[in-house]
Chain A
Amino acid sequence: MTFTLDEIYETARMILFEKLDIRTTTLGINIKDCVHSNFQTFLNRVHHKIVKYGKVLTKKARQVEIKYGVPIVNKRISITPISLVMETHAKTKKFLQMAKTIDNAAKESGIDYIGGFGALVHKGITNAEKILIRCLPEILASTERVCSFINAGSTNSGLNIDAVNIAGEILFETAHKTKNGSGCTKLVVFVNAPEDNPFMAGAFHGPGEPDFSLNIGISGPGVVRSVVEKNPDCDITQLAEIIKRTVFKITRAGELIGRELANDIGVPFGIVDISLAPTPLPGDSVAQIIEAFGIEKIGAHGSTFAIALLMDAVKKGGAMASGNVGGLSGTFIPVSEDAGMAEAVEKGALTLEKIESFTSVCSVGLDMVAIPGDTPPEIISAIIADILAIGIINNKTTATRIIPVPGKKAGEKVFFGGLLGEMPVMEVKKLSSSKFMKRGGRMPSPLIALKN
């Protein structure tokens, strides 16, 4: 036998009992070649291209899933940022038509989410981008699968506060157009957004990408938690080592599946995103990894250090396993999507400010965070600005997915359903920063950007 039974059992156990899966296979599709002066022709081309490749993706992913016995949970598509292809058709009505077309194409091809209906406005906003962003509330409320993003800053260009101010307003508006503010779960506000991120809602097929790119997002919080629990007394150095070894193995599985799927579809393989991605299912929680380290509840003092340790070990294991690590490759700590995080909020262990500090040592930031529905847009913008500033100064991706929940106050529970999970609404400080935020303009790029 070329492998020991323990090795074979380890792989089987990870999949069967510890929820190892491929969280997403996301096919990036360039739609710049679909642009046409006749808008109906443009729509037809976009629809045709998405349906054609979406169907191939879902079919081939199923075959690879069976061959390796590893579930591929989500099959998704990301497209060229829509603002880039709609400049000559920049009318509210046309943006709505395009969103409906993309939504229908995703539905027809069995794709649950399609990303890219957003804009890169890190230095400034064009007229077309302004129109697009202003109609996002209507789009997020009237479509089911379309996901949107706004890249509001980058380390090289600074932070576009005008865009952040608009983001607060449209989140407020979107929340009040959708049940429990759920439209906001489909909108990510970034800085330093990666062009090859496979994870929704912020995935888009960046302008620097080829015609197609197949990107993989692996999962595995359950696998990491299990190995941590099996080593309750080892020291911190050893703890980092065992996590690194485990992440190496799961990333290798992701690399194999990604390469084979890309080959079967006939498109280039892009990247493996090594982010640990939790779900609300029991045991599939990043918070529970931190708690298995020996922390009573995530949010306790020591949690930021614990996430930093976890993140570093994940990156080292993942980077050794794949030559194509990319995307966000951090650790997701969405609150409603991680039962351990939601429980920590409920018990009073985890506050908005503590998650903000986590952002400095992992990616994403305030992800799937429900806040009171009456939070004014300028306070939402200020919360976003805090998270994005961490990304700008530290030369990394940070993002927010904040959900104001209409009619709910801090402490009341909100159910988003399915993989989006549930959580208590989190408390937000009511002190105003609006005079500062209303100054508008752009925070200049930081000194760290002057590298040449």
Chain B
Amino acid sequence: MEKELIFITVIGRDRKGIVASISNLLYRRNLNIEDIVQKIIKDYFVMAMLVDIKDSKCSFEKLSKDLVELGKRMNLIIQVQHENIFKMMHRI
């Protein structure tokens, strides 16, 4: 079955437990992390996770809301977006 990929972008100050907290939230919803990249861009810690939501146990809306709330608790900005927007904006 074809994958349905989303990007979770995390922006903020680097700290312990960021990957662990997000991974744990995703694991509990039966989601697989396909790839992770991270680096410092202009003093911001920026991380992107590529996640397959094909087998997700919850709706996109709920997942997005939970991740944004997790971000707020950890003082991070978390943005959840379907892969298609990156395909459209960055590939011809």
- Give the B-binding residues of A (Cβ under 8 A): 1-12, 15-16, 63, 66-70, 249-250, 252-253, 255-256
- Whether a CB of chain A sits under 8 angstroms from the CB of B64 is yes
Contacts of A16 on B, CB cut-off 8 Å? Answer: 11, 77, 79
- Whether a CB of chain A sits under 8 angstroms from the CB of B13 is no
Contacts of B79 on A, CB cut-off 8 Å? Answer: 12, 15-16, 69
Q: Is the CB of B50 within 8 A of A1?
A: yes
Q: Interface on chain B toward A: helix, strand, loop, or mixed SS?
A: strand
Residue of chain B at shortest CB distance from A64: B82
Interface positions, chain B 41-84, Cβ under 8 Å from A, are: 41, 46, 48, 50, 60-61, 64, 77, 79-84
Contacts of B88 on A, CB cut-off 8 Å? Answer: 252-253, 255-256
Q: Is the CB of A5 within 8 A of B85?
A: no
Contacts of B11 on A, CB cut-off 8 Å? Answer: 9, 12, 16
Q: Is the CB of A5 within 8 A of B37?
A: yes
Q: Is the CB of A11 within 8 A of B81?
A: yes
Contacts of B1 on A, CB cut-off 8 Å? Answer: none
Q: Is the CB of A12 within 8 A of B9?
A: yes
Contacts of B89 on A, CB cut-off 8 Å? Answer: 7, 11, 249-250, 252-253
Q: Is the CB of B9 within 8 A of A68?
A: no
Complex CA gap A15/B81 in Å reads 11
A/B interface sample: 8 pairs, CB < 8 A:
A1-B50, A3-B90, A5-B46, A16-B77, A67-B81, A68-B81, A69-B85, A256-B88
CB distance from B46 to the nearest CB of A (A): 5
Q: Is the CB of A66 within 8 A of B90?
A: no
Q: Is the CB of B82 within 8 A of A1?
A: no
Given A3-B86, A3-B90, A9-B9, are A66 and B41 neighbors across the interface (CB < 8 Å)?
A: no
- Whether a CB of chain A sits under 8 angstroms from the CB of B38 is yes
Contacts of A67 on B, CB cut-off 8 Å? Answer: 60, 81-82
Q: Sorted from nearest, which 8 A-B pairs have the closest CB atoms?
A: A69-B81, A252-B88, A256-B88, A12-B9, A8-B48, A249-B89, A7-B90, A68-B85
Residue of chain A at shortest CB distance from B10: A12
Q: A1-B48, A2-B50, A16-B79 are in contact. List 15 more A-B contacts (CB 8 A).
A: A1-B37, A3-B90, A8-B7, A8-B9, A11-B90, A15-B79, A68-B81, A68-B82, A68-B84, A69-B80, A69-B85, A249-B90, A252-B88, A253-B89, A256-B84
Choose one: A10, A11, A63; the contact of B61 (CB below 8 Å). A63
Choose one: A2, A9, A253; the contact of B85 (CB below 8 Å). A253
Cβ proximity bits B22-49 to A, threshold 8 Å, 1 near / 0 not: 0000000000000101110100001010
